[in-house]
Amino acid sequence: MKRLAAAALLLLLAGGSAAEEQHLAGVPLQPHSEAMLVSNCGQLVYFDRPPRRAVTVNQSATELLLALGLEERMIGTAYLDAAVHPALKLSYDRVPVLAAKAPGRESLLAEEPDFVYAAFGGMFSDASLGRRDFLHGLGIATYVSPLYCPGRAVRPPTLDDLLGEIIDIGGIFQVRDRAEVLAADLWNRIKRTAEKLKERNKAPLRVFLFDMDDRSPYTAGGLGPQQLLLSLAGAENIFADVAARMTNVSWEAVVERDPELIVLVDSVWSSAEHKLRLLQTNPALRQISAVRSGRLLPMPFPDLMSGIRFGETVEKLAAAICPETQAAMAQEEAD
């Protein structure tokens, strides 16, 4: 029953047919066969069986496999941006760390993987893991998060993209039941938050996502997962009109658009403390509504990426944007 409910939620969310939902995870080439083809970022990837020697690169990829209970099939991870999700730490500690960042192609091949899963398409280059077609030629399957396919984004991401990745990975490893439960939990968090925001009937809050400041502020445009995240949490991304996943803007534009809340992305390369000092000490930036009211929200970098944290982050953002939402959900849980 739980499995059917999860599948129904996914179909409702995608607004598609059963055939479309099945396509997300690839279709077995023959009945009862382990072999399948998966369409991913413009490439067809062949799997003759579920991976047994997987390598993950980037945090969201690593955390998804761990959340699906696949640590026994992982021979290595790489490129964490911050501490792994607390609920996954014990599983993570059982998997070797191959490199602090992306392992080089020769280092990767020395591990003899049969599957390499990266969040970002840029990881598959001659200067890093190796090109996807090169790895496929060696019998190593690959997968890239659909929200970060290489090249310029041409449309805003959808929840179908986000949940489709979870179902894809579940299908590839033939743990689809687990993937459906995980996707349904994420969807339920988002649905409950949306219902509470609708009850409050307030206009979206103007929000600026402050990623880093390298000569000019770097922020979310209208075509990345951060745009989806902000919109689901009841926010209006002040740079949603920019046709890019992420983009550099000017401080003059930030001041002019006057955000009511600023998300301070906390990362090892650009801390939330650094951003806070900048906003509070620059005379022009101190005039921004969010700075004057103190509505400055630090959030860890991994929380703002696609992956298993997405539902939790929608809840956190919605609570900061509309505190009454958090109070209502807390009361609902208490009842």
What does the pLDDT profile of the chain (335 residues) look like in tens digits?
A: 334 334 444 444 444 333 333 333 444 444 456 788 899 999 999 998 999 999 999 999 999 999 999 999 999 999 999 999 999 999 999 999 999 999 999 999 999 999 999 999 999 999 999 999 999 999 999 999 999 999 888 889 999 999 999 999 999 999 999 999 999 999 999 999 999 888 887 889 999 999 998 679 999 999 999 999 999 999 999 999 999 999 999 999 999 999 999 999 999 889 999 999 999 999 999 999 999 999 999 999 999 999 999 999 999 999 999 887 665 555 566 55
Burial readout 12-46 (b: 16 or more C-beta within 10 A, e: otherwise): ebbeeeeeebebbbbebeeeeeeebebebbeeebe
Where in the chain are all domains bearing CATH 3.40.50.1980? 2-185, 202-334
For the domain made up of 2-185, give the CATH fold.
Rossmann fold (3.40.50)
pLDDT confidence of residue 22? 36
Considering only CA atoms, which of 86, 42, 80, 37 is closest in space to residue 61?
A: 80
Give the C-alpha separation, 123 to 58, whole Å. Answer: 9
Helix axes 176-200, 225-232, angle to 10 degrees: 50
pLDDT confidence of residue 35? 82
CA dihedral 47, 9, 121, 231 (to 10 degrees): 180
pLDDT confidence of residue 202? 81
CA dihedral 140, 144, 149, 155 (to 10 degrees): 140
SS (H, E, C) the chain: CHHHHHHHHHHHHHCCCHHHHHHHCCEECCCCCCCEEEEECCEEEEECCCCCCEEEECHHHHHHHHHCCCHHHEEEEECCCCCCCHHHHHHHCCCCEEECCCCCHHHHHHCCCCEEEECCHHHCCCCCCCCHHHHHHCCCEEEECHHHCCCCCCCCCCHHHHHHHHHHHHHHCCCHHHHHHHHHHHHHHHHHHHHHHHHHCCCCEEEEEECEEECEEEEECCCCHHHHHHHHCCEEECCCCCCCCEEECCHHHHHHHCCCEEEEEEECCECHHHHHHHHHHCCCHHHCHHHHHCCEEEEEHHHHCCCCCHHHHHHHHHHHHCHHHHHHHHHHHHC
Q: The domain 202-334 is classified under which CATH number: 3.10.310.10, 3.40.50.1980, 1.10.10.10, 3.40.50.10860? A: 3.40.50.1980
pTM (2 d.p.): 0.86
